[in-house]
Amino acid sequence: MHSSNVILNTFKYFCLSILLFLSKAHFNMDDPFVIVEPKNKAVPIILSVPHCGTAFPEELMDDYNPQMIAQPDDTDWFVNDLYDFVTDLGITIIHAKYSRWVIDLNRAPNSAPLYDDGRIITGLTTATDFFGNDIYTSKDKIPEAHEIQRRLDNYYWPYYTKLEQLLSKRKEEHGKVLLWDAHSIRHYIPTIRQEIFPDMILGDNDEKTAHASLINTAINNLRSSSFTVNHNDPFKGGHITRYFGRPNENMHALQLEMNKILYMNDEEIHYNESRAGMVREVLKRTFEGLITSIEKL
């Protein structure tokens, strides 16, 4: 019964996502991303959500375990919806269309590990979920070099190219720009960390990817609530933050990892409007602070 409910809830989410795309997003069916334009005058901030995608390309559907892709567990569920208020502030959103199980947009193109402390980190084209469960129907479906390159060309680099274009445009208009890379994670994943995760984790690769004033503004506003906020522990920001964060070129990048139970129910299946509302208040205050701070740089 639980499995049936999960599949039904996932189907409802897919339908809702399609309606949201049609109502407020600009996208091309061939693009592996969706762009949501700002509703008001554009500010020098771009929001990226690389792990909210749930779709699988038609040519790959039969390669995956159907029960696994009915509810792709490592998805940053509803994060693009959680942040949808930012368009009112003049912020553009880019978010992924396809699941990170197709290709992980927040990993290096050569799949180099982000950390070397022994934790389990899924790679560019992972064969398992975070818990080590196989996601493909058989081992011969796991992508090899040629298929990995095809996925890079079709799904990975188009996202990076578009994100670079968005950032460059805002930088040209304002002289500087900030990328905010939005993520969420399960409350507890013992294969990564033996303790439960903090409420929020701000990552900037040990303060290398953004100006100190932006980092301080983000931390102070996030900590103005009752949420626990760590800085670069246990996540320092993934490949997107490290790739685009070039403060010496007036291009700054921050990543926020968020505990899913902050805006979902305890089972991390359903969106919880009440919890999400509290998070959105803190995030809105944080973005308003960042808009002021970046204008002063």
Count the Cβ atoms, other than its own, within 10 Å of residue 16: 13
* pTM of the model as a whole: 0.90
Structural domains in the chain, CATH included, are 2-296 (3.40.630.40)
Cα angle: 259, vertex 160, 99; to 5 degrees: 50
In the structure, what pLDDT confidence band is assigned to residue 7 with cuts at 50, 70 and 90? very low
How many Cα atoms sit within 13 Å of 115 on the Cβ side? 17
pLDDT digit string, tens, across residues 280-297: 999 999 999 999 999 999
pLDDT digit string, tens, across residues 76-131: 999 999 999 999 999 999 999 999 999 999 999 999 989 887 777 789 999 999 98
Distance CA 73, CA 130 (A): 8
What sign results for the dihedral spanned by CA atoms 181, 56, 78, 187? Answer: negative
